[in-house]
């Protein structure tokens, strides 16, 4: 299984993503991500929006974790997580009613890898150190370093 820090290294950090709806935000995010050759932007967007239509992926606290329902990649080494800092908060149907300010897109190669990464990202979003880095829109290096430290503490 890939570490979350490795997946973020691969997927990167996007800044000042604009949009007034989750669809707008996701569309702009996906246009800026460097995707593996095996993954088509339109296929990714359609899969993420289909999942979003089933149930909003906001977890509260200003964070949404959109992801396709089914794996879109066949190679484990192509999996990635992209973090986007939004220019303006966007209503994302969070139970706490806090609009999303940070979007963490997760793309996996298998159901097992997807569930593993999703649970770790969700847990990470409850770590104060990680949330404060999101709040201050920290650099990619700072985020990856902090995530690596948190992952080591998990064992």
Question: What are the pLDDT tens digits along the chain (155 aa)?
Answer: 689 999 999 999 999 999 999 999 999 999 999 999 999 999 999 999 999 999 999 999 999 999 999 999 999 999 999 999 999 999 999 999 999 999 999 999 999 999 999 999 999 999 999 999 999 999 999 999 999 999 999 87
> What range does the domain containing 78 cover?
4-154
Number of domains in the chain: 1
Helix axes 140-154 and 128-135, enclosed angle (nearest 10): 170
Angle at which helices 111-124 and 4-11 cross, to 10° = 100
Q: Identify the pLDDT of residue 154.
A: 84
Please tell me the distance from the alpha carbon of residue 139 to that of residue 49, in angstroms, as a whole number: 28
> Phi, psi (5° rounding) for residue 109?
-110, -10
Amino acid 155: pLDDT: 78
Specify the pLDDT at position 150. Answer: 94
State the Cα–Cα distance between residues 55 and 77, nearest whole angstrom.
Answer: 28
**What's the CATH number where 35 sits?**
3.40.930.10
Strand pairing category for 80-90 and 13-17: parallel
pLDDT at 1: 64
pLDDT for 2? 82
* Closest by Cα among 40, 7, 8 to 138: 8
Decide: helix, strand or coil at residue 23: helix
């Amino acid at each position: 299984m890939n570490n979350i820090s490795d997946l973020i290294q691969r997927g990167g950090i996007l800044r000042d993503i604009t949009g007034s709806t989750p669809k707008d935000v996701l569309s702009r995010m996906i246009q800026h991500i460097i995707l593996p050759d095996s993954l088509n932007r339109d296929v990714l967007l359609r899969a993420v929006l289909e999942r979003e239509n089933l149930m909003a992926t906001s977890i509260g606290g200003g964070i949404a974790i959109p992801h396709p329902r089914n794996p879109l990649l066949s190679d484990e080494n192509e999996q990635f997580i992209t973090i986007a800092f939004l220019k303006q908060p966007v209503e994302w149907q969070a139970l706490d009613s806090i609009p999303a300010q940070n979007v963490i897109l997760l793309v996996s190669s298998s159901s097992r890898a997807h569930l593993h990464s999703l649970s770790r990202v969700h847990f990470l979003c409850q770590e104060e150190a990680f949330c404060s880095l999101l709040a201050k829109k920290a650099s990619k290096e700072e985020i990856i370093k902090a995530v690596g430290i948190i992952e080591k503490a998990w064992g």
